[in-house]
Amino acid sequence: MSKTTVLTGITTTGTPHLGNYVGAIKPSIEASRLTDTESFYFLADYHALIKCEDPERVNQSTLEIAATWLALGLDTDNAAFYRQSDIPEIPELTWILGCSCAKGLMNRAHAYKAAVQDNVAAGQDPDYEVTMGLFNYPVLMAADILMFNAHKVPVGKDQGQHLEMARDIAQRFNHRYGECFVLPEAVIDETAAVLPGLDGRKMSKSYDNAIPLWQGAKKLRKSVMRIVTNSKEPGEPKSVDESALYPIYAAFVGQAEREQMKQQLADGLAWGEAKKIVFERINDELAPGRERYNQLIASPGEIEAVLLEGARKAREKAIPLMEKVRAAVGIRKLG
Ligand code: TRP
């Protein structure tokens, strides 16, 4: 039986936080061990350039994200783990796909449209600070996916449209030039925990409410202590929806511990005591990975070697596919 191919990318612009861990990293790492799937996980550093013009940050984020996935036990024997920019076939495919992709389709992309609308609302030129990178983003993403004939692509809700576009692009190409690409499907886990941040809004670097994944135990404790709670006194009954504390805890524990926390809060557990429990639990889960993470960050050469091996594996698929695509469009030897 042929295996299902699962692929996903992580844009290398930030420092991993607890929300990334719970929502994407942990489930992906678990999935990397499934032997009935062929998995591709990659660091989308070309995508990073669309959002970030700070070279140090792109580089540092690549290092941190790679170290995170490896420290947490990504199975790199079973999954290909690579950096997008180590696969020269990806930008090549991006160009070729762009030549049959309708510009009108890209005009409808949410991220681009939002940028234009913001400009218009601000009385600016509609294209003010809109780059070709932003405009082409969905084509690059389609190339990432179609390059490896991915069947399933686990992504956040915000990426659903990009998957539809990848399917459109693949369909149009197949129709024009013959079957080259599998039509990919988005896998959007509606039940996935969207972790709230310190202030209760979705945990996000842009809201400045994130708890960094990797910090020493002391700092982690401080972060947990900063989760916003109300002024209810010890002894006063509290409910689970009065603070981000409970949903954060719930993302780390099983049903029994959730029930217990719920009961303790209802019985008047002090916020400070609850925070201690939450800190201990998160710290226990992260401590082993933290040590490995710190080791990896201190030896980037080790990470580099893993990524290059991942790229080698990925190119075993990318090179023959690109040959087929080139031939299909008429870029081939003369005679
Ligand atoms: N654009 C995706 C994000 O911001 C990251 C990404 C790039 C990706 N290429 C991809 C995800 C290919 C899935 C498949 O989350």
Give the model confidence (pLDDT) of 102-132 as tens digits. 999 999 999 999 999 999 999 999 999 999 9
Best CA proximity match to 99, nearest among 321, 333, 326? 326
Please report which confidence band the pLDDT of residue 191 belongs to, taking 50, 70 and 90 as the band edges: confident
Could you identify the atom of ligand 1 that is nearest to the CA of residue 150? 14
Tokens 């990009």 correspond to what residue? 162
pLDDT at 21: 95
What is the distance in A from the centroid of ligand 1 to the CA of 32? 17
What is the distance in A from the centroid of ligand 1 to the CA of 34? 21
45 close to ligand 1 (CB < 6 Angstrom) = no
Our mutation pick for probing the ligand 1 site, out of 6, 10, 41, 157, counting the most ligand atoms within 8 A of Cβ, is 10
322 close to ligand 1 (CB < 6 Angstrom) = no
9 close to ligand 1 (CB < 6 Angstrom) = yes
Query: Domain limits of the chain?
Result: 4-193+300-329, 205-294
What is the distance in A from the centroid of ligand 1 to the CA of 24? 12
What is the distance in A from the centroid of ligand 1 to the CA of 261? 36
| Tokens standing for residue 289 | 């990975």
Q: Over pLDDT 90: what percentage of the chain?
A: 94
User: Which tens digit of pLDDT belongs to each residue from 155-169?
Assistant: 988 899 999 999 999
- Counting Cα atoms < 13 Å in the Cβ hemisphere of 318 gives 24
Is residue 224 helix, strand or coil? helix
11 close to ligand 1 (CB < 6 Angstrom) = yes
Our mutation pick for probing the ligand 1 site, out of 5, 6, 8, counting the most ligand atoms within 8 A of Cβ, is 8
| Tokens standing for residue 37 | 């799937």
The dihedral over CA atoms of 90, 139, 189, 201, expressed in degrees to the nearest 10, equals 110
What is the distance in A from the centroid of ligand 1 to the CA of 164? 13
Average pLDDT estimate for 26-33 = 92
User: Which tens digit of pLDDT belongs to each residue from 259-272?
Assistant: 999 999 999 999 99
Average pLDDT estimate for 67-80 = 96
Whole-angstrom distance, CA of residue 223 vs CA of residue 229:
13
Average pLDDT estimate for 292-313 = 98
94 close to ligand 1 (CB < 6 Angstrom) = no
pLDDT at 157: 87
Whole-angstrom distance, CA of residue 297 vs CA of residue 301:
9
pLDDT at 314: 98
Could you identify the atom of ligand 1 that is nearest to the CA of residue 162? 1
Whole-angstrom distance, CA of residue 40 vs CA of residue 81:
6
What is the distance in A from the centroid of ligand 1 to the CA of 70? 19
Do β-strands 79-83 and 4-11 pair in parallel, antiparallel, or remain unpaired? unpaired
141 close to ligand 1 (CB < 6 Angstrom) = yes
What is the distance in A from the centroid of ligand 1 to the CA of 94? 14
So what's the architecture of 4-193+300-329 in CATH? 3-Layer(aba) Sandwich (3.40)
Going by CA atoms, what residue is nearest to atom 13 of ligand 1? Answer: 8
205-294 has which fold? Answer: Tyrosyl-Transfer RNA Synthetase (1.10.240)
Could you identify the atom of ligand 1 that is nearest to the CA of residue 137? 1
User: Which tens digit of pLDDT belongs to each residue from 192-209?
Assistant: 768 999 999 999 988 999
Residue 1: pLDDT over 70: no
- Counting Cα atoms < 13 Å in the Cβ hemisphere of 251 gives 23
| Within this chain, domains 4-193+300-329 and 205-294 share the same CATH topology | no
